Amino acid sequence: MIFVNFKNYPQTQGEKGLKLARICQEVSQKTKIPITPLVSPLLALEILKKLGPPVFLQHADNPTPSTKTGYITLTQIKNLKITGTLLNHSEHRLSPGETKNTATAAQKLGLKTIVCLSSLGQAQKWGRHLKTDYLVYEPLEFIGSSTDSVSTRRPEIIKKIADLVSPLPLLVGAGIRTPEDIKIALSLGAAGFLISSAVVLAKNPRQKLTTLAKSLA
């Protein structure tokens, strides 16, 4: 499986975002590899209206007390029929306690969650105990890289975390941009990928995503 993180790149704003989500859906249908966009709440609603699920958010909140202002709550997400959410991305950190509480609350509501970890230590200390559908290992230093990837630079950590958290599926992300990156990580026990810049910034996102998806088959 592949999750495409739209982040806030200009290439994902407004109609362009919807077009990229359509590409995700069409490439998924063609290659039979599940491909899900990770988007802002506003774009998620457009996607649901025009294309349908699945769609995940890039972040969610679990505010207590409920008088806090400006949060994207799990209940709203559930009521709007959004599939699930990413939590604790390196670009939108939560504390371990907040991550745990939010993931547990999301599961109770039937929302899917992907929790990001940036090190083996996090996986050992608290990541492996979380109630979540997926964990993802993304070392911060390779996020957005066009020369290095988690697969080529941290293969031993992928293997260790995949073994540690099994049978929970481990996704990997950070600098994933070639079929080789995909194949290395799969051979080490990864079950899927979080990919952003390689697809979002590609001259031809459909072609790039198709190439990457086919290497998972």
Amino acid identity, residue 147? T
- Residue 210 φ/ψ region, left for φ over 0, alpha for ψ in the -120 to 50 degree band, beta for the rest: alpha
Dist. CA 206–CA 212, nearest whole Å: 10
User: How far is the CA of 133 from the CAs of 20, 21, 51, 202, in angstroms?
Assistant: 25, 22, 24, 29
Give 100's strand partners.
none
Instruction: Tell me if residue 89 is catalytic.
Output: yes
Number of residues that bind ligand G3P (CB under 6 A): 14
Our finding on whether 35 is near ligand G3P (CB under 6 A) is no
Per CB under 6 A, the list member of 37, 54, 139, 175 interacting with ligand G3P is 175
The first and second tokens of residue 130, run together, are: 């979380």
* 76, amino acid identity: Q
Hey, which residues between 115 and 144 contact ligand G3P (CB under 6 A)?
138, 143-144
**H or E element: which one contains 44?**
helix 41-50
Catalytic residue at 15?
no
Of the residues 2, 43, 176, 212, which one makes contact with ligand G3P according to CB under 6 A: 176
Nearest CA-CA partner of 128 in 158, 161, 156, 95:
161
37 vs 189 by CB, closer to ligand G3P: 37
Q: Of 195, 212, 213, 216, which lies in the binding site for ligand G3P, with binding defined by CB under 6 A?
A: 195
- Among candidate residues 26, 91, 98, 138, the one labeled active-site is 138
Interatomic CA distance for residues 165 and 133, integer angstroms:
11
Q: Which is nearer to ligand G3P, 3 or 102 (CB)?
A: 3
Interaction pattern, residues 44-73, with ligand G3P; x per rule: CB under 6 A? ------------------------------
Residues carrying an active site annotation: 89, 138
Binding stretches for ligand G3P (CB under 6 A): 5, 89, 138, 143-144, 173-176, 194-198
